[in-house]
Amino acid sequence: MFDFSIVTNWVHSTLTSVMPEGWAVFIECVVIAVWIITLYALLAIALIYMERKVCGFFQCRLGPNRVGKWGCFQVFADVLKMLTKEIFNPKNADQFLYNLAPFLVIIASFLTFSCLPINKGASILDFNVGVFFLLAASSIGVLGILLAGWGSNNKYSLIGAMRSGAQIVSYELSAGLSIMTAVVLTGTMSFSGIIEYQADGWLIFKGHIPAIIAFLTYLVAGNAECNRGPFDLPEAESELTAGYHTEYSGMHFGFFYLAEYLNMFIIAAVAATIFLGGWMPLHIGGLDGFNAVMDFIPGFVWYFAKAFFVVFLLMWIKWTFPRLRIDQLLSFEWKYLMPLCMANLLLMTLMVVFGLHF
C-alpha cells in the first residue's frame, strides 16, 4: 500500500531547502486548502448527479438526460444558474444572523471533511482524538441551521430549524454511541489507528454481531443527522415549503445545498473508515492470489468505492421509505435506537474484556 507521507515529506523538505520554514508551511496550507475546496466541489457535483439518477431508477424514469451526454452537464448548468441568482435579504430579518448561518453550516462541513483519511499518509487532520474532533466539529452545523431559522423572521423557517435542532441533537447521540462501539474494539480514537487495526480484517467482520449492529444504527442515525428522507421533517415541502432555508437564494442557498450532500458523503466516508476498513483492500484468508490482486488497487480507490457504496445505501433508504411524523421520529430515537446503541456498546465492551472478538 503506497504511503503518501513519502510525497508530502519530500515536498516539505524541498520547500524548506529554498525558503524559510514558515513560508513553506504557509504555501503548503494554501495548496491543501485549494485541494480541499476543489475535491469538495467535485464530490458535490458527482453526488447531485448520482442522487438524480438513483432517484430516477427507483421511480422507473430516466432522470436528467438533456444537457450533455446522459444529462451529465445538468449539474453544471444548475451551478451556473445558482451563481447568477441574486442574493435576497428579507427586509425584517436579522441581517447579521441571516448572513452568518450559511457560513457556519459550510465551515462545519469543511472541518469534518478535512478529517477523512483518503489514503495512507494522505490525512489532512489526523491526531489521537480524531473521532472526538469530528463529532465536535460536526455539531457546529446545527448552530447555523438554528440561526438560519431564527434570523430569517419566517414562521416556516423557524419551525424547520427547531425540528432540525431537535432531530440532529437527538440522533447525534446514537451516531456517537455507534462510533464509540468501534473505538472500544480498536482502542484508539485516531482514524489512521482505526484503519491500521483493520489490516487483517474489516471491523464489520472482526467485531461479530455488535459491529454489524453498530454499522446499521450508524447508518440510520447518520441519515437522520443529514436531514434526509425519511427523516427530512425540517425540509418537509408539503408542510414548510423549504424549511429553515426558505428565505435563502443564490449562493447562500447553495451553501446549504452543498453542505447537505457533502454531509451525506462524510457520513458514508466515516462509515467506510470505521467499519469497512477505510483504504484497506479486501482480503480473504487462504486466497493469496486474490489478495495479491486486491493489493494492486490504490488505497484511495478502495476508500471512495466503499464511501460511494454507503452513499448508495443512504439514497436507497431515502427513496424507499415514506416520511415520518416528527413525534414518530423522536420516539424512534429515544425509545428504541439510543437504548439499542447503549446495550450494543455494553455488549462490545464485554466482548473486548473477555477477548471474544477476532
Separation CA 273–CA 202 (nearest Å): 10
* Mean pLDDT confidence for 152-180: 88
pLDDT band (50, 70, 90) for residue 342 = very high
pLDDT band (50, 70, 90) for residue 329 = confident
Name the pTM for this structure: 0.91
Mean pLDDT of the chain: 87
* Mean pLDDT confidence for 159-173: 87
pLDDT band (50, 70, 90) for residue 357 = low
pLDDT band (50, 70, 90) for residue 336 = very high
Predicted local confidence at residue 47, as pLDDT: 92
| 198 close to 278: Cβ distance less than 8 angstroms | yes
Separation CA 243–CA 315 (nearest Å): 21
Separation CA 167–CA 232 (nearest Å): 10
Q: How far is CA 110 from CA 144, 172, 202, in A?
A: 14, 18, 27
* Mean pLDDT confidence for 62-85: 85
Predicted local confidence at residue 233, as pLDDT: 74
Predicted local confidence at residue 159, as pLDDT: 85
Separation CA 226–CA 265 (nearest Å): 10
Least-confidence region, from 33-42, 54-63, 232-241, 301-310: 232-241
Backbone angles phi, psi at 281, to 5 degrees: -75, 165
* Mean pLDDT confidence for 53-65: 87
Does the pLDDT of residue 229 top 80, yes or no? no
Predicted local confidence at residue 358, as pLDDT: 62
pLDDT band (50, 70, 90) for residue 163 = confident
Separation CA 216–CA 45 (nearest Å): 27
- What would the pLDDT profile of 102-155 be if each residue is shown by its tens digit? 999 999 999 999 889 888 878 888 888 889 999 999 888 888 888 988 888 888
Predicted local confidence at residue 236, as pLDDT: 65
- What would the pLDDT profile of 1-50 be if each residue is shown by its tens digit? 677 888 888 888 888 888 888 888 899 889 998 988 899 889 989 999 99
Domain ranges of the chain: 5-353
Does the pLDDT of residue 240 top 70, yes or no? no
Does the pLDDT of residue 237 top 90, yes or no? no
- What would the pLDDT profile of 242-270 be if each residue is shown by its tens digit? 678 888 888 888 888 888 889 999 999 99
Among 237-246, 276-285, 336-345, top mean pLDDT goes to 336-345
Predicted local confidence at residue 349, as pLDDT: 92
Q: What percent of the chain has pLDDT over 90?
A: 28
Which of 127, 126, 108 has its CA nearest to residue 40? Answer: 108
Backbone angles phi, psi at 154, to 5 degrees: -135, 130
Does the pLDDT of residue 283 top 90, yes or no? no
